[in-house]
Amino acid sequence: MVQERERVLPSFSTTQANITREDGLIVYEDMVLGRLFEDKCAEMYYRGKMFGFVHLYNGQEAVSSGVIKAMRKDDYVSSTYRDHVHALSAGVPAREVMAELFGKATGCSKGRGGSMHMFSSEHNLLGGYAFVAEGIPVATGAAFQSKYRREALGDPNADQVTACFFGDGASNNGQFFECLNMAALWKLPILFVVENNKWAIGMAHDRATSQPEIYKKAEVFDMAGVEVDGMDVLAVRAVAQEAVARARAGEGPTLIEALTYRFRGHSLADPDELRSKAEKDFWFARDPIKRLAAYLMEQNLATQEELKGINRRIQATIEEAVQFGLESPEPDPSELYRFVFAEDK
């Protein structure tokens, strides 16, 4: 049975939003980068410049930007097959993500990974994990590492936090429950961020789970669990800031369920036949970028001209990324075996 009505999105008063002009513009720019980058991916895919499975993030930008921009650069991020925008928020240059999509040697994974396997050790991006839920244990391990350094090795600077992103589909997998248990048991510094976009390809969330309110699953692990309007970047940011502070203080993990929606099909190969027009209209009306833009202007934190200027600058960044990707060399065939073992630098 498919859900007839939308879940009531948790309310968030903008008066609770405590964001400076500078941070507001950083978050805005990051969301625009995510949106325009993905639009360009669709164009390049249809023009035959990239191949394989390409899963776009349009509509969900508030989650990536809201969480990752509330973290430090030395914190860790793990993602799924829908990972381009998490990589961008984590600071991986757009040209390296685009070049990876083109399979080029200059890509962030040297052309070996592709759309679903973006990695960057420089940016503490633990990677895109293509099998559903398999990134959750890896992220839990990164969080364990922070605790290990701080407590077993006595390093006071080891207070890095890990943000682990995954979808509603993953929340029915054993690795999700196993890792919630271990993270709570050991009070690991981690944010489990569920991007509940209602659909695991064609499986409606309500048809796959006995308790659709995922954040409530934290409670049995004695873990903090919160739901948040995933279309409101300021709400996501506020929730993330609280969870990051809790993790950094050694007080344990948080399960954040962000209610969100993908504006496109599961992947560019998905005919998207199952989602109703009414459902799409409900969520299209909540575009997180338009919402933040309106807030910034209402609060006199930015003018329309400034925001347009950001859009133009990002568009130029993306054009440059495409150019870079197109002009970059293919991986050298003589290096087919490079990177199988650690000795290959």
Partner 1 sequence: MDESCALSSASPNSLSNLFTFVLATYTTSLRQEIEMAETLLYNALKEAIDEEMARDSQVFVLGEDVGHYGGSYKVTKDLYKKYGELRVLDTPIAENSFTGMAVGAAMTGLRPIIEGMNMGFLLLAFNQIANNAGMLRYTSGGNFKIPLVIRGPGGVGRQLGAEHSQRLEAYFQGVPGLKMVACSTPYNAKGLLKAAIRDDNPVLFFEHVLLYNLKQDLPSEDYVLPLDKAEVVQEGSDVTILTYSRMRHHVAQATKLLDKEGIGADVIDLISLKPIDFETVGASIRKTHRVIIVEECMKSGGIGAELSASIMDRFFDELDAPVIRLASQDIPTPYNGTLENLTIVQPPQIVEAAQKLATNRL
For residue 86, the minimal CB distance to partner 1 (Å) is 15
Task: Choose one: 22-30, 65-73, 197-205, 336-344; the region binding partner 1 (CB under 8 A).
Answer: 336-344
Report yes or no: 193 and 166 within 8 Å, Cβ to Cβ: yes
Residue 59, Ramachandran bin (φ over 0: left; ψ between -120 and 50: alpha; else beta): left
Nearest to 317 by CA among 85, 119, 40, 79: 40
What minimum distance in Å lies between the beta carbon of 214 and partner 1? 18
Q: Tell whether residue 243 is a contact of partner 1 (CB under 8 A).
A: no
Residues 161-220 contacting partner 1, CB under 8 A: 174-175, 178-179, 181-182, 185
Closer to partner 1 by Cβ: residue 122 or 327: 122
Residue 278 near partner 1 by CB under 8 A: no
Binding mask 122-151 for partner 1 (x = CB under 8 A): ----xx-x-x--x-xxxxxxxxxx-xx--x
- Structure tokens given for 309: 């200027």
> Quick check: 288 and 231 in contact, CB under 8 A?
yes
**Partners of residue 257 on adjacent β-strands:** 194, 227
In the complex, least distance from residue 57 CB atom to partner 1, rounded to whole angstroms: 20
Q: What part of residues 57-116 is at the interface with partner 1 (CB under 8 A)?
A: 76, 78, 107-113
Token readout for 262 is: 């993908």
Q: How far is the CB of 118 from partner 1 (least distance, A)?
A: 9
Q: Does 342 bind partner 1 (CB under 8 A)?
A: yes
How many Å apart are CA 146 and CA 314, to the nearest integer? 34
CB atoms within 10 A of CB 337: 8
With CB under 8 A as the contact rule, which of the stretches 6-14, 32-40, 119-127, 237-245 interacts with partner 1?
119-127
Q: Does 121 bind partner 1 (CB under 8 A)?
A: yes
**Interface residue with partner 1, options 35, 69, 84, 117 (CB under 8 A):** 117
Distance (Å, rounded) from C-alpha 188 to C-alpha 217? 17
Closest by CA to 114, choosing from 94, 133, 100, is 100
Q: Are 191 and 183 in contact (CB under 8 A)?
A: no
Q: Which is nearer to partner 1, 75 or 229 (CB)?
A: 75
Nearer to partner 1, 12 or 148 (CB): 148
User: Which residues lie closer than 8 Å to 281 by C-beta, 6 or more apart?
Assistant: none
Report the nearest approach of partner 1 to the CB of residue 163 (Å): 13
Short-list 282, 176, 265, 274, CA closest to 229: 282
Instruction: Identify which of residues 21 and 338 has a Cβ nearer to partner 1 in the complex.
Output: 338
Between 59 and 114, CB nearer to partner 1: 114
Q: Compute the least distance from the CB of residue 131 to partner 1, in Å.
A: 6
Inter-CA distances, 190 with 63, 110, 146, Å: 16, 28, 10
Pick from 174, 176, 279, 289: nearest CA to 231: 289
Q: Is 345 in the site for partner 1 (CB under 8 A)?
A: yes
Which letter does DSSP use for residue 87 in this model?
Answer: H
Contact residues for partner 1, defined by CB under 8 A: 76, 78, 107-113, 117, 119-121, 126-127, 129, 131, 134, 136-145, 147-148, 151-153, 174-175, 178-179, 181-182, 185, 338-345
